[in-house]
Structure 1
Amino acid sequence: MSRARLNLFIEPEHARRLNELAIKKGVSKSSIVAAALAAWLSATSGGQRDTATAKRLDRLSRQFERLERDQNILIETVALYVRYYLTVSTPVPEAHQEAARAQGRLRFSQFIEQLGRRVQKGRHLLDEVRMEASVATSTPADGTEREAPR
């Protein structure tokens, strides 16, 4: 089979890596370049690349949809909590405003510290609540064990 001769200009780093690969595999640099070019130009390779890209995009779309769902749940949770809090909390009298602010700053500081510890440890409150709920449903008041619902 006759071959066409080409003079190529490639980056020095690519030339170095091509040379190392040829030595490691014990083949010529021309055969490596020819194989890479054949793979690049082949229709099946392009189809495989397109299929792989489509799968990755589908996976990313599903992840994005889950994130969007979780974000909507979080927003709804915060909104419900705020509405509940504003409904049940009584206004603080003017004479106690400064003490209430100081108490609020202290509680917020404690909250941030606890949040930092939990994030650092990788703990999630929802996981703990689920675990507690499954324990509560699997142990009835009489102390006998029963299987948690699935």
Structure 2
Amino acid sequence: MANLRKKKKLTVYLDPDVEKALTEFAARRDRSQSMIGEAAIASFLSPDDAERREAIIAKRLDRLDRRMDRLERDVGIAVESLAVFIRFWVNTTPALPEPAAKAAKAKSAERYEAFITALGRRLAQGPKLRQEVSEDVTDQRVEFGRLSR
């Protein structure tokens, strides 16, 4: 017969809120309160617990940092795209005479709706502009449809 070590009994006093949380947690996990208490005490007394927590936090921070880098890149692409479009539009669109300006204003709502519809299709179907923009392009500027250095 194997020599099994018998566990020692320990009595602890818990705050009613802590006891309630322990009871609910044990019921959700279908485990005994004793087993959960033993695991919690072992974790608390573990010397590498702080290092393990630090590693978990560092991993999460690294993941957040990568997400922030992607967001920063995407926002930069959006801002540059808008700036290039505005510069192109301002440079290529002449001012309209008064009668034509009124007609254009009347047509603008319809054109805006068409733009929003096209944008919605593009966002739903992809590819996204950020996927089309190469990440290794350095020090190149797009100016009116041609690359210049």
Shared fold (TM-score, shorter chain, > 0.5):
yes
Give the corresponding residue for 1:15: 23
TM-score, structure 2 normalization: 0.69
Residue matched to 2:127: 124
Which residue of the other structure, out of 108, 112, 116, is the alignment partner of 1:112?
116
For the pair 1:79 / 2:87, whether they are aligned, the reply is no
1:5 matches 2:17 = no
Higher mean C-alpha deviation, range 1-10 or range 75-84: 1-10
The answer to which structure has the higher helix fraction is 1
Q: Alignment identity in percent?
A: 33
Report the residue type matching 1:78 in the other structure: L
Q: State the distance in 2 between where 1:38 and 1:124 align.
A: 51
Inter-partner Cα distance in structure 1 for 2:35 and 2:128: 57
Mapped to 1, the partners of 2:69 and 2:44 lie a distance apart of 33
For 1:102 and 1:127, the matched residues in 2 are separated by 34
Aligned-partner Cα distance in 1 for 2:40–2:62: 28
- 1:64-91 deviation line (CA, Å, top 9, x unaligned): 0121122112111211110111011111
Which of 1 and 2 has higher RCO (CA within 8 Å, sep 6+)? 2
- Per-residue CA deviations over 1:102-147 (Å, capped at 9, x if unaligned) read 222111111112223343x3423538968xxxxxxxxxxxxxxxxx
More strand by share: 2
1:41 CA displacement? 3.5
The residue aligned with 2:70 is 66
If the length of structure 1 is used for normalisation, what is the TM-score? 0.68
Give me the whole-angstrom Cα distance separating, in 1, the residues matched to 2:40 and 2:132.
54
Q: Take 2:41 and 2:9, find their aligned partners in 1: how far apart are those partners? A: 14
Q: Kindly state the Cα deviation for residue 98 of structure 1 after the two structures are TM-superposed.
A: 1.7
**Relative to structure 2, which stretch is displaced further, 109-118 or 56-65?**
109-118
Cα distance in structure 1, aligned partners of 2:90 and 2:12: 77
Unaligned 5+ runs, structure 2: 1-6, 134-149
